[in-house]
């Protein structure tokens, strides 16, 4: 599914985040930037040791990356030139500010990409794997946050894509995007 939103092409597709030919891919990281499983593991495996070296430097200089914030490193051997590492919330039932923290993770990733004049970026479905955030709820937050950012920042990017691992996740994001587009 593809739509134009305030001058940016927004694409939803099924695939693998590490294969994306975009300027920056977003990583679903942890606060220590230690690497891990899922998207994080795949990005570090494919991108090589340069990414982990820069993550270590960020950890030493500022203690890592708080939940809801974002930092940037090289893409190492990835096709993408940069990796934006963001940390989504761990799902604890929804009463601990998880929705707002997930929105911040998306918003701050987009803000950092814009500041660096990155023109194309790819997101995974942050927090919906190891961190257990319900995918439909996460999809609505992701789509609403992206729509809000793009509307406030016309032509900020050429393309923003969401790379969903499963057909079920793609469906959830497509449904959420249609919902968000239908509301003013």
The residues pairing with 27 across neighbouring beta strands, listed in sequence order, are: 85
Rounded to whole angstroms, how far apart are CA atoms 161 and 121? 6
Q: Of the candidates 111, 103, 69, which has an alpha carbon nearest to the alpha carbon of residue 87?
A: 69
3-state helix, strand, coil split of the chain in percent (to 5) is 45, 20, 40
Q: Which strands form 24-28's sheet, in the order they lie side by side?
A: 2-5, 8-14, 159-164, 120-123, 24-28, 82-86, 70-74
Q: Of the candidates 133, 142, 148, which has an alpha carbon nearest to the alpha carbon of residue 163?
A: 142
The residue (of 131 and 157) whose beta carbon lies closer to ligand AR6 is 131
The residue (of 99 and 153) whose beta carbon lies closer to ligand AR6 is 99
User: What are the backbone angles phi and psi of residue 44, rounded to the nearest 5°?
Assistant: -65, -40
Minimum distance of ligand AR6 from residue 28's CB (angstroms):
3
Binding of ligand AR6 by 37 (CB under 6 A): yes
Binding of ligand AR6 by 21 (CB under 6 A): no
| Span 101-140, contacts to ligand AR6 by CB under 6 A | 124-131
| Span 162-181, contacts to ligand AR6 by CB under 6 A | 163, 165, 169
x-or-dash string of contact with ligand AR6, 47-86, rule CB under 6 A: ----------------------------------------
Q: Which of 22, 42, 101, 110 binds ligand AR6 (CB under 6 A)?
A: 42
Cβ atoms within 10 Å, residue 164? 24
Binding of ligand AR6 by 30 (CB under 6 A): yes
Q: Which of 5, 12, 25, 28 binds ligand AR6 (CB under 6 A)?
A: 28
Which residues, including other chains, have CB under 8 Å from residue 38's CB and lie 6 or more apart?
28, 129, 130
Q: Which stretch binds ligand AR6 (CB under 6 A): 26-34, 51-59, 62-70, 140-148?
A: 26-34
Minimum distance of ligand AR6 from residue 164's CB (angstroms):
7
Is 40 marked active-site? yes
The tokens describing 11, both together, are 């694409």
Catalog residues that contact ligand AR6 under the rule CB under 6 A.
Answer: 16-18, 28-30, 36-40, 42, 88, 124-131, 163, 165, 169
- Catalytic residue IDs: 40
């Amino acid at each position: 599914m593809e739509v134009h939103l305030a001058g940016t092409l927004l694409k939803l597709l099924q695939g693998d985040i590490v294969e994306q030919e975009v300027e920056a891919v977003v990583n679903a990281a942890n606060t220590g930037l230690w690497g891990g499983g899922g998207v994080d593991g795949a990005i570090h495996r494919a991108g090589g040791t340069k990414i982990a070296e820069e993550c270590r430097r960020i950890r030493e200089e500022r203690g890592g990356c708080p939940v809801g914030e974002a930092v940037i490193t090289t893409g190492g051997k990835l096709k993408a030139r940069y990796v934006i590492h963001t940390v989504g919330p761990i799902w604890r039932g929804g009463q601990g500010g998880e929705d707002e923290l997930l929105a911040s993770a998306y918003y701050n990733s987009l803000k950092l990409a814009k500041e660096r004049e990155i023109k194309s970026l790819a997101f995974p479905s942050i927090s919906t794997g190891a961190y257990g955030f319900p995918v439909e709820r996460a999809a609505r937050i992701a789509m609403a946050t992206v729509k809000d950012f793009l509307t406030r920042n016309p032509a900020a990017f050429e393309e923003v894509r969401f790379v969903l691992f499963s057909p079920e996740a793609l469906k959830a994001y497509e449904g959420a995007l249609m919902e968000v587009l239908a509301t003013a």
